[in-house]
Amino acid sequence: MRSAFISVHQRLILLFFLTAALSAQTYDIVLSNGRVMDPESGLDAIRNVGIQGHTIAAISGRPLQGRTTIDAQGLVVAPGFIDLHSHGQDDENYRYKARDGVTTALELEVGVSPVAPWYAAREGKALINFGATAGHIPARMFVMHDTGGLLPHDEAAHRVATSAEQRETEDLIRKGLDEKALGIGLGIAYVPTTTHPEILNMIRIAADRKATAFVHMRSPGAIEPGSVTESLQEMIADAAITGASIHVVHITSMANGQTGLMLEMIAGARKHGIDITTEAYPYTAGETRLDSAVFDGNWQQQLGITYKDLQWVATGERLTAETFAKYRKDGGFVILHSIPEEAARQAMANPDVIVASDGMIYNGTGHPRGAGTYARVLGHYARDEKALTLMTALRKMTILPANRLHLQQKGRIKIGADADITVFDPARVIDKATFEKPNQYSEGIPFVLVNGTLVVRDGKIVEGIKPGVGIKAR
């Protein structure tokens, strides 16, 4: 009698045809024979990666067939880099980001307000993925009628908010979270009249909404009262009180010589159950607006620098007491040569400090971090200085920032993940942007894919395509 079930022999034949059918599948793009490095799984091996539509569909030791095949032999195939701190949110900046291996650039520190129109203005028009928090600074500036631009200039920086203004600001933040902003952005140093209870209220909103607060802390440096230690203690306390998740931005430019102590404090808080993380950029200088509240008080003692350590972005000149006064009245960006090399190196070497650029290039000017952050970590700190391994460097650029935002499909080379992929030459990758000439693309990053579309090919931007999408809270 014939069985209704197929025999072992028949099963083997079926399996053979299935395997043949699978291997005959043609993917949209195949990255062949690259060294796939995935910090989440620890995979570090020669593999072929098949991309179908927006998604990574195959990771195989066997050859794969693609409509487009890219020879990645000798190159590293890594998850696309995720920049948690990218003020430059326009086409000029997205091009520098893509050439630096960044596939997702997010404005989380200052943030935006209102949120929905900001996303709508970029949808379908962005080279790479973008996103933002609901920003306390812009919300407060709107409510208090401040005349500044990116940063407050008068009312929001120098006046104490009335309780009505505080409530209005909180309502704007909640509305931004309703519109799926990626958390709450806080820059306390730029609005120093914001009281401790006001900040605690903001952190409470973050906790209630299960959103992370991204914070430029109250003040930098070692001078008490108002030290960076005190500022970090405020954040750790607010997190402990509310249960909120807090991400402290650019730890080195806040802590300078006390970077080691701040990293110890964060590690200690984490060990005792506080969800607090931090980030840094690989440079010995910061940048901000000279007309901001950062220069209101005793900045020279706080930061341990003086006029000659300030570099006026528009001309590249170092400042004096006279030019400081003049330019502060005019308003504009200034570079602060304030971070000891040891602090930058310590933050880069620490496996838990996320790499984030804090970058913004405008008409080709600005701080080199806007163009060179990621290639500089890979080429300078990992390869040349051996401050950290290549896998650790990638971890700090991919899975750590993805996990900070609970992005399950980004920051990993995994079947089913979004095909945001950066392909670089580990022997050649390097930053070219300098303080004098920041508008230089990084080198040694020949291929970058955003949602399965090549945005960099053979080391050049692919023109006329905009595959970036808005990244929003779940």
Q: Under a CB-based contact definition with an 8 Å cutoff, are residues 329 and 241 in contact?
A: no
Bridge partners for 229 per DSSP:
none
Closest distance of CB 216 from Zn ion, Å: 4
- The CB-nearest residue to Zn ion is 216
- Of 152, 462, 189, nearest to 303 by C-alpha is 189
Identity of the residue, 218 or 345, whose beta carbon is nearer to Zn ion in the bound complex:
218
Closest distance of CB 362 from Zn ion, Å: 16
Identity of the residue, 333 or 424, whose beta carbon is nearer to Zn ion in the bound complex:
333
How many CA atoms lie within 13 Å of 313's alpha carbon, on the beta-carbon side?
A: 25
Closest distance of CB 271 from Zn ion, Å: 26
In the structure encoding, which two tokens stand for residue 217, read together?
A: 């802390």
Identity of the residue, 35 or 369, whose beta carbon is nearer to Zn ion in the bound complex:
369
Identity of the residue, 216 or 376, whose beta carbon is nearer to Zn ion in the bound complex:
216
Residue type, 37: M
Helix axes 228-242, 196-208, angle to 10 degrees: 40
Closest distance of CB 148 from Zn ion, Å: 15
Length of the chain: 474
Identity of the residue, 153 or 216, whose beta carbon is nearer to Zn ion in the bound complex:
216
Q: Under a CB-based contact definition with an 8 Å cutoff, are residues 211 and 246 in contact?
A: no
Closest distance of CB 286 from Zn ion, Å: 8
Identity of the residue, 98 or 137, whose beta carbon is nearer to Zn ion in the bound complex:
137
Which phi-psi region, left, alpha or beta, contains residue 385 (left: φ > 0; alpha: ψ -120 to 50)?
alpha
Exposed/middle/buried for residue 7 (C-beta within 10 Å: 0-12, 13-18, 19+):
exposed
Closest distance of CB 211 from Zn ion, Å: 19
The CA R_g of the chain, rounded to the nearest whole Å, is 24
Closest distance of CB 110 from Zn ion, Å: 8
Identity of the residue, 101 or 135, whose beta carbon is nearer to Zn ion in the bound complex:
135
Identity of the residue, 227 or 292, whose beta carbon is nearer to Zn ion in the bound complex:
292
Cβ neighbours, 10 Å, residue 142:
16
CA distance 131 to 138: 16
Identity of the residue, 216 or 289, whose beta carbon is nearer to Zn ion in the bound complex:
216
Closest distance of CB 249 from Zn ion, Å: 5
Q: Under a CB-based contact definition with an 8 Å cutoff, are residues 83 and 103 in contact?
A: no
Q: Under a CB-based contact definition with an 8 Å cutoff, are residues 133 and 215 in contact?
A: no
Identity of the residue, 109 or 155, whose beta carbon is nearer to Zn ion in the bound complex:
109
Which residues are near Zn ion by CB under 5 A?
216
CA distance 394 to 377: 9
Exposed/middle/buried for residue 147 (C-beta within 10 Å: 0-12, 13-18, 19+):
exposed
Strands 354-355, 447-450: parallel, antiparallel or unpaired by DSSP?
unpaired
With H, G, I as helix, E, B as strand and everything else as coil, classify residue 278: strand
CA distance 96 to 461: 9
Backbone angles phi, psi at 130, to 5 degrees: -140, 165
Closest distance of CB 419 from Zn ion, Å: 32
Closest distance of CB 184 from Zn ion, Å: 15
CA distance 93 to 89: 6
Query: Tokens 């570090």 belong to which residue?
Result: 44
Identity of the residue, 216 or 404, whose beta carbon is nearer to Zn ion in the bound complex:
216
Bridge partners for 52 per DSSP:
55
In the structure encoding, which two tokens stand for residue 105, read together?
A: 């650039």
Closest distance of CB 333 from Zn ion, Å: 13
